[in-house]
Amino acid sequence: MADPTTVPTGIQPNLPAALSELGAALLLPALLVAVIAYFCGCFNGAVIVSKYILRDDVRTHGSGNAGLTNFYRTFGGPLTFGVILTDVLKAIVALVVGGWLLVGHLPAGLPGPQEAYSDYWAGLFCLLGHMFPCMFQFKGGKGILSGGTIVIMIDWRVALVAWGGFLILVLLTRYVSLGSSSTGVTVPISTWLVYHDGILLLLSIIIGGLILWKHRGNIQRLLAGTESKFYFHKKVK
């Protein structure tokens, strides 16, 4: 009789059973990581710098988005690096804390590395905090800078596909939103190609769906031909 804890190479374990075992063993730690990661995500760099340093909320300008692109288009200058630093560091903190609390405590027999499960879980809630921050009336950014940091920390192969697609599309078209939206598709695809794991695929689909949902207005403008292109300097009319 085969050992039920043995996972044959190339065969995915029963997903409902794996989820049940995972939930029973990790309900409290998983909830704790979710809460911590969410509140890390709530520290939105564009809102903090514009509202509390510049005294001019970025969400009242341009596209109304609390993100790096709208901040740069509106204010520019060296404080842009403060936005970048905030959004990168909060993602790092969320995933590091998630690793401390979850890695080493996951059930045996899961096909992927334990760090991947904790990173995707913490990354999902960090993005939820960035996109829907409770301290800023749930009006946050679209998650690309923080999400880009998260995929780098997850796996270089997932990051290569996501960042590669983003950069190629932006360089060819100058539409940041097109490159950003593409990550909603490339992250789930690359996650499956790298891990062949149903739980990680599910988490990556949720992450990708959130990114696409936050970019729904941009996608409509891209289809209509009215989306703004990105330039590092003001266009001369």
- What digits encode the pLDDT tens for the residues 101-148? 988 777 777 788 889 999 999 999 999 999 999 988 888 888 889 999
Q: What is the mean pLDDT of residues 69-76?
A: 83
In terms of average pLDDT, the best of 51-60, 133-142, 169-178, 182-191 is: 182-191
The residue that leads in pLDDT, 27 or 210, is 210
Q: Given a cut of 80, is residue 5 above it in pLDDT? A: no
Q: Which pLDDT score is estimated for 17?
A: 64
Q: What integer best gives the mean pLDDT of the chain?
A: 86
Q: Residue 12's pLDDT band (boundaries 50, 70, 90)?
A: low
Please give the structure tokens belonging to residue 67: 């993100």
Q: Which pLDDT score is estimated for 28?
A: 84
The pairs formed by 189-195 with CB atoms below 8 angstroms and a separation of 24 or more are 189/161, 190/157, 190/158, 190/160, 190/161, 190/162, 191/120, 191/158, 193/157, 194/155, 194/157, 194/158, 195/111, 195/112, 195/116
Q: Which pLDDT score is estimated for 20?
A: 64
pTM greater than the 0.95 cutoff: no
Worst-scoring range by mean pLDDT, 171-175, 219-223, 228-232?
A: 228-232
Q: Which pLDDT score is estimated for 74?
A: 85
Cβ atoms of 151 and 124 closer than 8 Å: no
Domain boundaries, the chain: 28-224
Q: Which pLDDT score is estimated for 62?
A: 80
